[in-house]
């Protein structure tokens, strides 16, 4: 098992590349969801401002 983990002396680089891949994959998964939440929040605020303006105007 230790030979598999060390991978002939290149284990650090191999496992580090796997870790970087997983981190990038997680960011790629989360970024659109966070952006969508922020856009919806901004749109709701814009709609509220617009409704206040149109309601206040005669």
Question: CB-based contacts of 11: which residues, under 8 Å, 6+ apart?
Answer: 5
Region 9-20: mean pLDDT is 95
Q: Is the predicted pLDDT of residue 17 greater than 80, yes or no?
A: yes
**Alpha helix locations (H) across 1-58?**
2-6, 11-56
Residues listed for the chain = 58
7 Cβ neighbours under 8 A, 6+ residues apart: 14
| CB distance 37 to 44 below 8 Å | no
Higher pLDDT, 5 or 40: 40
pLDDT band at 54 (very low <50, low <70, confident <90, very high): confident
Residue 55, pLDDT score: 80
């Amino acid at each position: 098992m230790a030979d598999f983990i060390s991978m002939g002396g290149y284990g650090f680089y191999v496992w580090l590349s796997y870790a970087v891949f997983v981190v990038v994959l997680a960011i790629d998964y989360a970024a659109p969801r966070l952006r969508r939440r922020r856009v919806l929040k901004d749109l709701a605020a814009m709609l509220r401002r617009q409704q206040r303006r149109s309601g206040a105007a005669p």
